[in-house]
Each structure stands twice: as C-alpha cells, then as structure tokens.
Structure 1
Amino acid sequence: MSTGRKDINSIPRYEISRRGAFGSHKRAGAVGRDMDMTRRPRRLRRDGVRGLVSETTLNASDLIAPVFVDATTEARVPIESMPGHERVPVSEAVARVEEVLATGVEAVIVFGVPESKDERGSRAWAEDGVVQEAVRRITAETDAYVITDVCLCEYTEHGHCGVLASDARENWEERRSDPGVAGGARTGGGLTVKNDETLDLLARTAVSHVEAGADMVAPSSMADGQVGALRAALDEAGHENVPVMAYAVKYESAFYGPFRDAADGAPAFGDRRHYQMDPANGREAMRMAERDAAEGADVLMVKPALPYLDVVADVRREFDHPVAAYNVSGEYAMLKAAGEKGWLDATESAYESVLSIKRAGADLIITYFAEDIARSLP
C-alpha cells in the first residue's frame, strides 16, 4: 500500500563533470546515477519573467485605510503607539480622506471617538454623533467608498462592546480577588455583556450610519446574531442594497493594544474573552463564518490577519463570499518599531506582510499600511 511518500532510492542522483589539470573526471552522487535537470525553477526567477509569472499581485484597490475621527479635539492628535497615524477632528475628516485617496486607495473604514460616553453608548447611534457627522461630510465632498465600524466599545463608559449586566463589575472584582477562581483577573467575571439587548443598539447604530451616507457597515462587537439583526434593520429602513461586512472571525488578541489607544476603547475592567474567539480555535472559525453567511453577510472578515493566515485560507476555500482580513494595529506597530530600530526595512516588510494576506485568500485588506503600500506600488 502506498504511503504517498517517495522512496529515497527512487530519487535521481547526479554526476557533475569537471575538467582540471589532469584531465576530466566525474564526481558521482550518492549512487552515481544521472539527475534529470530538465526542470530548473530558477529560469523563471530572472528579471523580466519573474513579474510575468507572479501568482499574486497587490493593488491599491485591494486596500482599506482606517480613519479615526475624534469629537474631543479641534486639532490632529498623533497616535503614539501607531507612528504615522492621527486622530482627526470632524472638521478635518474630509482632508484626511482626501490624503488617503491621493495615494490611490479608494476605501476607508471610519472609527469614532465621541465627545461623551455613557453606560449604553448612546452616542453611537445619535444623529449628530461623531461618525455620522464625519460620514456626511466625507460622502458629500469625496468619492471615497465609506465603511463604518459598528460597535459600542468606543462609546460606553466601561469600554465593553455592548450592554453590561448590572452586576458585571461587582462580579468581576469578586472573581478577580478570589484565589480559588482559575485564571484570576483573566476570567473577566463571566458573561458580562447582555447579548440580545446589545443587538438592538447595534442595529440602530448601523441604520444611523447608513442614513448619514455610509456605503457599507461592519459590525464588530461579536454579539451572536449581530449580522442578522443589522440586515433586518437595514432592510426595514429601506437600505436593502447596503452590504454588511461581518467581523465573522474575530479573535481575542494581544495584537489589538495600539488600536485601543487610538480609539479610546479599552475595557475599564475585565476583558473580552467571553465574546471574542479563543486564538486556539480554527474549526470554530468555520462555524462563525457559516453563521454570518447564513444571516446575510456580504463579506466575511478575519481579524487579526497575520497570526491567522491559515484561517483566512480556510474561509477562502470554504465560502464563495468576498473575504476581508484586518491587518491590525499591533501588526503595524511591531513592524514600525523594528523599522525605527533599523532591525528590518519597514517598507519592504509591510509590503511582504500584506502581500501574504492577499496570497492567503483575502480580497479586501484593512491595513494601517494602506497609504505607504499604495505609494510604493508601480
């Protein structure tokens, strides 16, 4: 029975002819048999032909640039943990998007930092909210394709992605201080976000974004049923032609740190382990993507990208939906930091990283390198 493995004795050996001062001689391979050198892969790695046979091509139209709009400032604020990026006031939102468009990148995803926060995140769906105001201006004055992130973490006082149970903080503090509870502070106090109550608020937020002019909405709270809730609300409001890009596979990742600085959305207590996915799980990713596809998702996203290229490839293989991948803030920050130290070429490593995301199967790539890469493309 064949095992699918090659018998080492069946692998051709080679003989190399040499001519020296004492005449020609042959240096035999392991068993002295001639190797068939008909196939020489290096033929196609030379300049001129190398590009012709390249299997993956990265274009500016593949990229989506994140834009942070901050209602608490009247001037641009550099994001310390993400060199080269800023939070911009609403008055500068159009100018910021025009900078993106000038590089050839055609799409942006907008995140908002509100002027005030409350327990339920009510500024997320306010008609005069920061994202709503920014989107109105951007869509009125530019041709950018505008996607909005739909979540509550930037808008709630507690920094979680939905409605909290009334005793969530108390339970978390109690569990954290209990030496008998496995995981200690990492337990997050159990299920702190009330899933079904959160769905209504996410739906209201999505509708408000679309009515302000958003071209696509992207629910990221990881609430069960979020795609179906948004799809139903959008259809009921007459926005049946607006697509939903689902954060279908969103892991609870250490690579999100700089983003939480940028969007002012870190949890005030606990963590997001009870609603974001376990990094150990791959099969669960397929179930999540299948669920969101069934609920009406038009695009399926994997986040983060680089540590989960296997998952990007699996989603690409199993579903015929467009696949997005989010090259997140931590992935950006570590390459930038290494580049600043002179340990690697930040431009080349950024291009290689994002190219690998496309090679794995992503059709759309959200990346903080979008402008840098677009400028470097021929």
Structure 2
Amino acid sequence: MLSRPRRNRSSAAVRNLVRETELNAGHLVQPIFLLPDPNARLPVRSLPGTFRMGIEEVLREIEQCREVGIHSFMMFPAVPQEHKDKTGTYATADENFYLHAARAIKDRFPEVCLISDAALDPYSTDGHDGVVIDGRIHNDETLKLLDAMAVAQAQSGFDIIGPSDMMDGRVGSIRRALDKEHLTETAIMSYTAKYASAFYGPFRDALDSAPRQLADVPSDKKTYQMDPANVREALREADLDAAEGADYLMVKPALNYLDIIYRLHEAHPLPIAAYHVSGECAMLLAAAERGWLDYEQAASEALLSIRRAGADVIITYFAKDFARWNQARPF
C-alpha cells in the first residue's frame, strides 16, 4: 500500500492535529539588563531591540510582557566600574541596586518567576566569573562568594538562583548555604554546560563584563567554561549538578548545541533549560534587517528547534516578540 505522509499536511487544522512539538509563551524566559539609574533606557547596539533599563523601565517592561503571556524573567546587573573590585563585594552590599530591584519587582508582581545571575564577573574588576589569585581563577575561594551572593539574592525575592560561573562544586555549595538560611524553596538553575563560545559578544557589551586584558590574568574563560568540542564532559557535568541538588540543568548557547540539549534531555529527568544567547539572536536580527530573512518566521523556527531538541525552558531575547506573534497566530 502506498504511504502518503502528505495527507497529514493537507490543511492547517490537520497539521495542528499531528503537531509533535508545542511551543508557547509559558516555555520562555525574557532576559533583562538592569542599570542603577531608575529611569534609564539605553539600547544595546549589538543586539537591536534590547535595552539596558532602570527599575522603573523594567517594571513597565514586565507589565508589557505579562500582557502577552511572559511571566518569567532572568535579570542581569550592569554594575558601574566604581562598584567593582577583585572579589565582587558589591554583590552582597545593602545598597546593591540589583537586590533592591528584585524586591521592587516581587512587591509589584509577586506572581512572576524571577531568576538571578550568580557569578562574579558583573562585579569584578578582572571580568572573570571567579576570583583571580596569582593569575589563576581560584575555584574554592569563589564558592564562598557565590554562597553569600545566592543567599542575598534569595532573600531579596529571586525564585531561582542561576549560578553561571562554572566553578566545580558550586551547586552543592549554594544548596547548602540556602538550606542553612531556611531558603529551601529557592530553586537552582545550574548553567550545567556553559561553553566557551564566540556568541556572547552583545551580552558582554551590555554588561561590560568581558575578561580584562591584564598581565598574568587569563584573557578568556576557557579554564572554566567548556570546550565546544566536548559532549561527554557535558553529561558528566549534568550528573554532578543533579547529584548536588540542581533543580534545572541549562545548556548555553542553544542553537549550536542542540545535540547537547537532546543528550541531557534523554539522560536526566530534571527540566532542561537552554539559553538562546545574544550572539545567536543578533545574527538572525542582522539578517532580518538586511531583508535576507523574515524575522518572525526565522525566530519562531529557531525557538521551535530548541524546544524540539528537548528544552523545557528557553531563555531568549525573542521571548516577548514570540509571545505577541503567538497570540495572533500560534506557530
């Protein structure tokens, strides 16, 4: 008997019946870049359509996102140079605008999910995710700082802590620190497989967080972020993070690492998050601006591919736009 798969593609209604992968606003997280000036709104030139904002603008942005179905946000601080030092002491300071902003967001929108960034690089004069001692990124000294940072963030209202540093043992260390302070309901979204990628440029522009070119200090993050050539290493990292108490396992970047998303999804029952990073989004936006791609169709397809690979959660700069499109025309 001749098989005709096209019968299941004959109309939009039929295609909806057999669609294997669903993507909606509930799967998406909108990143937010926070500035200390409450009313600031500055464009990120290398990522069109994205802004660095003060808390008043952030509150308006969250309101707009909620109207189209986005209820989860990952916030990153753009810390002025005068607040940076070798050990990132401003990360836990009482006057830290990032912690104050989290409280303001949760006071105004208690129902939203707020995800933190727990790493040293926004606060460090060296631009690294760990403490630099004698030209080396010191793992265990960094853990102490991450513990304090995570506790301060959880106490400020963050629902999920996002350790993005790739230090060994940080998930277990943070979990113990949170539990010690009775913050047992605060989850951890571990950056499990964070690769030393070329696609982070616009993000580092937005936060001024690139590693500094200094004598005796590494000028890249390859001693702690993963080699793009490696797969088995990601599985090992996932096993360790799961054993240490992670609630989510993240892969970053997403599009160039769909195989890693799939492998983690198949290997672990934990929810898999994928960060559709700034460079991946910027490439598509640049092509769309030149008329080479249709922005809505290409962005929707990119997000669907990440979801199809096995991501339960997708962090993307296209979240709000996709949610708008999805309201009018489900993908």
Aligned to 1:98: 63
Matched, 1:53 2:31: no
Aligned to 1:42: 6
Aligned to 1:233: 177
Aligned to 1:147: 115
CA distance in 1, matches of 2:100, 2:282: 29
Any conservation in 1 of the 2:38–2:56 contact (CA below 8 Å)? no
CA distance in 2, matches of 1:364, 1:104: 14
Aligned to 1:88: 53
Unaligned runs of 5+ in 2: 214-218
Query: What do the CA deviations read for 1:212-269 (whole angstroms, capped 9, x no partner)?
Result: 1111111000000110111000000110111101000100000111100112211112
Alignment of 1:70-89 (within 5 A): 70-71=35-36, 74-89=39-54
Query: What do the CA deviations read for 1:88-111 (whole angstroms, capped 9, x no partner)?
Result: 013333222222222211100010
CA distance in 1, matches of 2:145, 2:301: 39
Aligned to 2:216: none
Counterpart residue identity of residue 81, structure 1: S
Moved more, 81-90 or 92-101: 92-101
| Aligned CA-pair RMSD | 1.1
Pick one of 208, 212, 230 that aligns with 1:281. Answer: 230
Post-superposition shift, 1:131?
A: 1.6
CA distance in 1, matches of 2:97, 2:235: 34
Moved more, 65-74 or 257-266: 65-74
Pick one of 290, 299, 310 that aligns with 2:239. Answer: 290
Deviation beyond 4 Å, 4+ runs, structure 1 = none
Matched, 1:257 2:201: yes
CA distance in 1, matches of 2:39, 2:324: 28
Alignment of 1:154-173 (within 5 A): 154-165=122-133, 167-168=134-135
Any conservation in 1 of the 2:79–2:207 contact (CA below 8 Å)? no
Any conservation in 1 of the 2:38–2:57 contact (CA below 8 Å)? no
Post-superposition shift, 1:74?
A: 4.3
Pick one of 136, 141, 145 that aligns with 1:197. Answer: 141
CA distance in 2, matches of 1:228, 1:202: 11
Any conservation in 2 of the 1:72–1:113 contact (CA below 8 Å)? no
Query: What do the CA deviations read for 1:173-207 (whole angstroms, capped 9, x no partner)?
Result: xxxxxxxxxxxxxxxxxxx2100000010111111
CA distance in 1, matches of 2:234, 2:203: 23
- Asked which structure has the greater CA Rg, the reply is 1
Any conservation in 2 of the 1:228–1:295 contact (CA below 8 Å)? yes
Matched, 1:133 2:82: no
Matched, 1:220 2:187: no
Counterpart residue identity of residue 95, structure 2: D
Matched, 1:311 2:260: yes
Normalising by structure 1, report the TM-score.
Answer: 0.82
Q: What is the aligned-residue identity percentage?
A: 48
Counterpart residue identity of residue 139, structure 1: K
Counterpart residue identity of residue 9, structure 2: R
Normalising by structure 2, report the TM-score.
Answer: 0.94
Counterpart residue identity of residue 332, structure 1: C
Aligned to 2:88: 121
Post-superposition shift, 1:73?
A: 7.1
CA distance in 2, matches of 1:108, 1:197: 29
Counterpart residue identity of residue 80, structure 1: R
Aligned to 1:372: 321
Aligned to 2:283: 334
Matched, 1:69 2:45: no
* Greater RCO structure (CA 8 Å; 6+ sep): 2
In structure 2, the CA distance between the partners of 1:271 and 1:72, relative to structure 1 (3 Å rule), is farther
